[in-house]
Amino acid sequence: MAITIRRATINDVQAMQNANLHNLPENYQLKYYMYHILSWPQASFVATTTEGPKELDEIETEAELQNIKADPSYISKGEKIVGYVLGKMEDDPEAADKTPHGHVTSLSVMRTYRRQGIAEKLMRQALFALSETFKAEYVSLHVRKSNRAALHLYRDTLKFEVLSIEKSYYQDGEDAYSMKKVLKLDELLPSSFSNADEVDDLESDLLEGLDE
């Protein structure tokens, strides 16, 4: 199954919100997704596939067509969002630490697409973009103490460190780990991690070679 990782656009926000509603108890209004994408357009990514249950021209019945049309994961003919990462720079004027730093607001991958490295790729793209475009010196995030999958991804795969435990951080009273990763651009280059060939190469100049 081919998965594409690309920057998120305003056209994706509804499908991103849909993925969020499916996967996480922390939900946001559409305007919060838009705020991220309009303020830091390089910092959020989506994972998409064109391999849905069927291509549109293969659909046989009207009912099937209506089902697909009603599925908010589809953002265009046949393109379906299966995961996203929503990233931003810290912009709270009251924040104690004035060092430019990024924050991962939300990350999720639809259930049937998990354990294929999609979240890792989304995260690596966001970390690279926060460092390269916004000169973020580090990135922070919160994760539920009970979220073993996300903890493994952040701590073991991406080498975030646990800074502290924030008691009752979540609305239901669960504690959060507050985590941080110092960003070093040369270590974040898409070419410096495995499976780099499967990820969009955001390092290369898109205009390169056009005048040859």
Ligand X SMILES: CC(C)(COP(=O)(O)OP(=O)(O)OC[C@H]1O[C@@H](n2cnc3c(N)ncnc32)[C@H](O)[C@@H]1OP(=O)(O)O)[C@@H](O)C(=O)NCCC(=O)NCCS
Binding site for ligand X (CB under 6 A): 23-24, 107-109, 114-120, 143, 147-150, 152-153, 156-157
State the nearest-atom distance from the C-beta of 171 to ligand X, in Å: 14
Kindly tell me which of 29 and 194 has the beta carbon lying closer to ligand X: 194
> φ and ψ at 119, to 5 degrees?
-65, -40
State the nearest-atom distance from the C-beta of 212 to ligand X, in Å: 37
Strand partners, 79: 76
Rounded-to-integer distance, Cα 19 and Cα 13, Å:
10
State the nearest-atom distance from the C-beta of 210 to ligand X, in Å: 34
Kindly tell me which of 98 and 115 has the beta carbon lying closer to ligand X: 115
Rounded-to-integer distance, Cα 101 and Cα 107, Å:
18
Helices (H), 24-61: 30-39
State the nearest-atom distance from the C-beta of 111 to ligand X, in Å: 8
Kindly tell me which of 4 and 59 has the beta carbon lying closer to ligand X: 4
DSSP 157: I
